[in-house]
Amino acid sequence: MRTAISILLSATALPLGAATAHADPPPHFEYRDCPPIPSWADPAEWRCEDHIATGTLTVGGAGPIRVRIISMTHAEGPRPDGTSGQVFGRLQAAAERVPGTRLWLRPESAGPSDFLTPGGVINLRFRLTGPGLGRHCTLGSAGDPIPIRLTLAPGSAIQVSANPPIRRMQGTDTTFAVPAATGCGPATRRIDRRFGLPAASGANRLAMTVTYSYQTYDRLPG
């Protein structure tokens, strides 16, 4: 089975003989946010994937902004009819400073994401916090998510560890559009001017280094 993130990054999973990285110690994955799997699912055949990612985001005229995803989980495995199933877990990310401003930006899940279909998508919104913005200021929303489709950088996929299985790759997306800000109150127009919103496809860029691991449900810790 191809790993979900490899499909999102337009790459197949690496064989055990592929290039392996030794420079840095492998990260630790805790699998705390693995979602429950369907009652009919076999825990030995369904697995949880946990991803961490760092990179930069440019939105219209603002950026690059640091992006740091602490954990993004989902489950995948065979359905009774032989097709592949998936269940999204949770996305946790850090808030990072928007350069030259008093604003902070944090990626959030904006609805179901597709980790298995070729050309699959991660639906995001970016929450903004700062003076006068309140608690509901976002770029993108559940009703108008920002679809991210990362493309693998040639030669970037490496195997960090064979046991536990840990892989790393780099991907970029410049195809997504970013809608006008919502929920920012009186500051909405100021936010739109600062970021150049709405920003069409080609005016934005997300570049990420993604590291991920996976474990079948019958072997998850705890």
Query: What pLDDT is attached to residue 72?
Result: 93
DSSP-derived letter for residue 190 is H
DSSP-derived letter for residue 98 is P
Mean pLDDT for the stretch of residues 25-51: 92
Query: What pLDDT is attached to residue 193?
Result: 95
Q: How confident is the model at residue 38 (pLDDT cuts 50, 70, 90)?
A: very high
Q: How confident is the model at residue 23 (pLDDT cuts 50, 70, 90)?
A: low
Per-residue pLDDT tens over the stretch 149-195: 999 888 889 999 998 899 999 999 999 999 999 999 999 999 999 99
Amino acid of residue 202: G
For residues 108 and 58, the answer to whether their CB atoms sit within 8 Å is no
Q: How confident is the model at residue 115 (pLDDT cuts 50, 70, 90)?
A: confident
Amino acid of residue 196: G
What percentage of the chain has pLDDT greater than the value 90? 74
Q: Would you say residue 55 has pLDDT above 90?
A: yes
Q: Please tell me the distance from the alpha carbon of residue 93 to that of residue 71, in angstroms, as a whole number.
A: 7
For residues 47 and 34, the answer to whether their CB atoms sit within 8 Å is no
Question: What mean pLDDT, rounded, does the chain reach?
Answer: 88
Q: Would you say residue 10 has pLDDT above 60?
A: no
Q: Would you say residue 26 has pLDDT above 90?
A: no
Q: Please tell me the distance from the alpha carbon of residue 9 to that of residue 171, in angstroms, as a whole number.
A: 6
Q: What is the dihedral of CA 26, 214, 146, 117, to 10 degrees?
A: 140
Query: What pLDDT is attached to residue 136?
Result: 95
User: Which has the higher per-residue pLDDT, 51 or 12?
Assistant: 51
| DSSP letter for each residue of 3-48 | -HHHHHTT-PPPPTTS-B--SSPPPP---TTPPPPPTT--TTT-EE
Per-residue pLDDT tens over the stretch 69-100: 999 999 999 999 999 999 999 999 999 999 99
On the 0-12 / 13-18 / 19+ scale of CB atoms within 10 A, 102 is: exposed
DSSP strand pairing (151-152 vs 158-161): unpaired
Q: How confident is the model at residue 24 (pLDDT cuts 50, 70, 90)?
A: low
Task: Indicate the pTM of the whole model.
Answer: 0.86
Q: Please tell me the distance from the alpha carbon of residue 161 to that of residue 170, in angstroms, as a whole number.
A: 17
